């Protein structure tokens, strides 16, 4: 289409309301996250390890986060995670009135993303276990979409796991974006966040798959409930489903507060200029 047509298209459909823009952005970002991220788990599970394993899942899911943040970062901040949005509200970085819209868009994006994975791999799902969609056992496929606890994991330990991993996630995100610390150059933050996801899934992924994101977990879980896996997706793992919703919300706020208390609050004020040079030049030097 010519540039002129494009301009008139823009005039017709361009959204003036920034909240609607941001909702579209969070929806699209979370859709990408789940379609690609859960796709990586699907490829490893459905090929019984022939086309994927721990490394492709960890690196692939991490790069899904990176791409999702590139898609949505400039418009809505690229939260793609209610635990991130809540922590942003608590620390005054997002208006509370926007929170319900952000979370709704994230859940919708995750639900549709899960549907896309099921659609793209429909033949593979049918082949995998003769059309049976199972939540547990050797032919289980529900873990492609939502997370389930390892057999050994107690509810208390699992809750702590999700609090801690999401706390580290938010703490590190705050560091990556803190321009008074050694922050990542503009435009490369999504890659740094991806590297963060690699280490989180390699180190804290064994207990329960490292959800750290209520939308990433509940959206696809709801999809599996209606798509044929049934209500066992909620009862499995001692009614595990609520843990990756409640614990990340709590952990995210804890992690953000930890960063603020340990690091951010002690930055000297820029106007006072006190020891500004310490912050602006980051060498491996601390003679100050």
Q: Is 211 in the site for a second copy (CB under 8 A)?
A: no
Q: Which stretch binds a second copy (CB under 8 A): 1-9, 211-219, 234-242, 246-254?
A: 1-9
82 touches a second copy by CB under 8 A: no
105 near a second copy, judged by CB under 8 A: no
Q: Does 8 sit near a second copy (CB under 8 A)?
A: no
Least distance in angstroms from the C-beta of 8 to a second copy:
11
* SS3 state at 140: strand
User: By C-alpha distance, which of 24, 3, 15, 9 is closest to 74?
Assistant: 24
Please select the residue that binds a second copy; options are 182, 235, 238, 239, rule is CB under 8 A.
182
Minimum Å gap between C-beta 246 and a second copy is 17
Residue 140 phi, psi (nearest 5):
-60, 140
Distance CA 162, CA 150 (A): 13
Using the rule CB under 8 A, which residue among 24, 112, 140, 227 binds a second copy?
A: 24
Q: Which of 131, 137, 138, 286 binds a second copy (CB under 8 A)?
A: 286
Residue of 205, 219, 237, 251 that binds a second copy (CB under 8 A): 205
Residue numbers 47-66 binding a second copy by CB under 8 A: 47, 50-61, 63-64, 66
Torsion over CA: 181, 185, 190, 194 (sign): negative
Tokens of 202: 């390699």
Q: Are 175 and 181 in contact (CB under 8 A)?
A: yes
Cα separation, 231 vs 133, in Å, equals 12
Three-class secondary structure of residue 183 per DSSP:
coil
Stretch that binds a second copy, among 145-153, 211-219, 227-235, 240-248 (CB under 8 A): 145-153
- For residue 166, the surrounding DSSP H or E stretch is helix 155-177
Q: Is 86 in the site for a second copy (CB under 8 A)?
A: no
Q: Under rule CB under 8 A, which residues in 230-269 are in contact with a second copy? A: 258-259, 261-263, 265-266
Q: Does the footprint of a second copy cover residue 104 (CB under 8 A)?
A: no
Nearer of residues 71 and 231 to a second copy, judged by Cβ: 71
Query: Do residues 70 and 190 lie in contact, with contact meaning Cβ atoms separated by under 8 Å?
Result: yes
C-alpha to C-alpha distance for 153 and 140, rounded to whole angstroms:
18
Residue 208 found at the interface with a second copy (CB under 8 A): no
Cα 145 to its chain centre, rounded Å, is: 13
Residue 160 near a second copy by CB under 8 A: yes
Contact with a second copy (CB under 8 A): which of 80, 83, 86, 88?
A: 88
Measured from the CB atom, the residue of 207 and 213 that comes closer to a second copy is 207
Q: How far is the CB of 85 from a second copy (least distance, A)?
A: 9
Nearest C-alpha neighbor of 237 from the set 148, 166, 177: 148
| Contact between 97 and a second copy per CB under 8 A | no
Q: Does residue 232 sit in helix, strand or coil?
A: helix
């Amino acid at each position: 289409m010519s540039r002129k047509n494009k301009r008139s298209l823009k005039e017709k459909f361009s959204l003036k309301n920034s909240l609607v823009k941001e909702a579209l952005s969070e929806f699209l970002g979370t859709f990408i996250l789940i379609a690609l991220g859960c796709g990586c788990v699907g490829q490893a599970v459905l090929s019984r390890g022939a086309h994927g394993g721990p490394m492709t899942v960890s690196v692939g899911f991490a790069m899904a986060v990176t791409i999702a943040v590139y898609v949505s970062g400039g418009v809505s901040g690229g939260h793609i995670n209610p635990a991130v949005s809540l922590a942003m509200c608590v620390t005054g970085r997002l208006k509370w009135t926007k929170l319900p819209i952000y979370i709704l868009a994230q859940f919708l994006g995750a639900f549709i993303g899960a549907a896309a994975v099921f659609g793209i791999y429909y033949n593979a799902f049918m082949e995998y276990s003769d059309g049976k969609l199972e939540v547990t056992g050797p032919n289980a496929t529900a873990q492609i979409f939502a997370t389930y606890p390892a057999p050994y994991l107690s509810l208390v330990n699992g809750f702590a796991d999700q609090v801690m991993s999401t706390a580290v996630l938010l703490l590190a995100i705050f560091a990556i974006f803190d321009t008074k610390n050694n922050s990542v150059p503009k435009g490369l933050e999504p890659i740094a966040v991806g590297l963060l996801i690699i280490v989180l899934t390699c180190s804290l992924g064994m207990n329960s798959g490292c959800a750290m994101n209520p939308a990433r977990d509940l959206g696809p879980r709801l999809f599996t409930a209606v798509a044929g896996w049934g209500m066992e997706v909620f009862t499995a793992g001692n009614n595990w489903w609520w843990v990756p919703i409640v614990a990340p919300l709590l952990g995210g706020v804890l992690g953000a507060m930890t960063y603020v208390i340990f690091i951010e609050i002690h930055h000297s004020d820029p106007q006072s200029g006190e020891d500004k040079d310490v912050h602006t030049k980051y060498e491996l030097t601390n003679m100050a």
